[in-house]
Structure 1
Amino acid sequence: MKVVILAGGYGTRLSEHTTVVPKPLVEIGGRPILWHIMKLYSHHGLNDFVICCGYKGSVIKDYFLSYFAHQGDFTIDLRRNEIENHRNDSEPWKVTLVDTGEKTMTGGRLKRVREHLGNSTFCLTYGDGVSDVNIRELVTFHHQQGALATVTAVQLPGRFGALNLSSDRPRAAKFREKDVRDGQVINGGFFVVEPEALDTIDDDGTSWENEPLARLVEQDQLAVYRHHGYWQNMDTLRDKMVLQELWDRGDPPWCVWDKAASVAGRAASSAAPAHT
């Protein structure tokens, strides 16, 4: 299953950083937030990424072009123009980087990468939000619902697209984008999507959060997966500071891959025979 990450926005509310790098490359704990998002999916076995580039997309491409070199040790023979690799700590990721236009809206970016997605179900999220959402459970839920798309609903006040839910039924009753009066359940990203859902996108000027999701609601084809765990986007400098503070404390709640490694390490240690 492929994972599409929308990484082309301007990030104007983070202008202190985004004048130098695009928003998805703003770092938390010395790693771009994009890396944190990819680590979550990789933890759940998804390693094939399609990244929708836009603003400063060449910087994102350069990041991945040099990723292998930065993660390993090697010897360069300058005279022979040869490289001997000694150690490679790179993740098992396949990354497709697509220039989807600097001014293209989110729906338009998604439509532009359709040729890279094939005819299979895919995951979709934004390049500026982290969570401990269980991707495996999310995908299973999506298939159980039989909808064209599933959105992860999270709790957060205001500023984001609001979801009106119909009682306990796992379908959205209405989708409304950004209203200061909103405050309950919001669009947290982390979608699962069928290729047919892309037919709701008109052109480059279409926002995925507006007409396409509204059309899916009208067709009773937008399922809602309720996530009650951690979720935080990085929309402002304050958001970045919150994430960095959690990282500095040593137990960032979205780093489920580190928690799994720690549990495995403790289990292996307790199972090891005592030496006499």
Structure 2
Amino acid sequence: MVHDVMRDGPILITGATGQLGMALAAQATMPHRAVGRPDFDFDSPETIARCVAETAPSLVINAAAWTAVDAAEQNVAAAYRANRDGPAQLARLCRDSGIPLIHVSTDYVFDGEKGAPYLESDPVAPLGVYGASKEAGERAVIESGADAIILRTAWVFSARGKNFARTMINASRKTNNLRVVGDQRGTPTAAEDLAAAILAIVGAIRSQGWRPEYRGIFHATNTGDTTWHGFAEVIFDIAAKCGAARPTVTAITTAEWPTPVKRPADSRLDGGKLAAIFGLRLPDWHDATTRIVTAMLEADAHT
């Protein structure tokens, strides 16, 4: 277990090429090393141990995962390697080295049937392989005995990478009429806001040392909630202010847009525990969307 104050050493950030990994590396002001495939690959367990040994980190942030929800159904073993087995190995290495681990998980561990924002203590009930593999990863990290913080988040998007906002912007350049699911509710979460929260947690551990109440699961999303259709409408409102053409967006039901895996109908997450323990509340999702879409369009204009 870790001592009262963190030892010297950089922060190790995994998943360097993902949305969150890029945001973490961009914002980190403390010494850090960001790694991704092939140097760090959950499909190659030897790379995990090698990265930890070479880096000798003071803390690890695991932002690497299998996130392709539908593809996980046909790639079960690979999804479990990335979302359970790899994080389990990483957690054991952190435990043996006496360093904290911050592990990122998902709202998809729930089935969306509660009808109210989920608490960390609510029963999990994943609907597909992706959610089940992430839930198994949570359990593996906890059972490792590591000083671990698990952050469940949702609907992550950023100005870079593949995400819903990018999909909408690209689609609007091809058609004036879009159909978007309007009966699934959750919270769009900007990768940069999630990264800022994670780094604030790192800062608390670095300055105050590890505390027993840090161990366990926390929910971390932007504030507020919407549907995918509502999210799309806001994206296009912002894009229109930046001079983009605004398509018509029609709300449809989940049944009208079938996917290989059922999505949670209402996966809102309650962020009260994160606020109580760490004093952190992420910004409103509307503010986040304004920042992200504006940055996305500005970057597009220069390419």
Verify same fold: TM over 0.5: no
Higher helix share: 2
**Structure label with greater radius of gyration:** 1
TM norm structure 2: 0.30
Alignment TM-score, normalising by the size of structure 1: 0.32
Structure number with higher strand proportion: 1
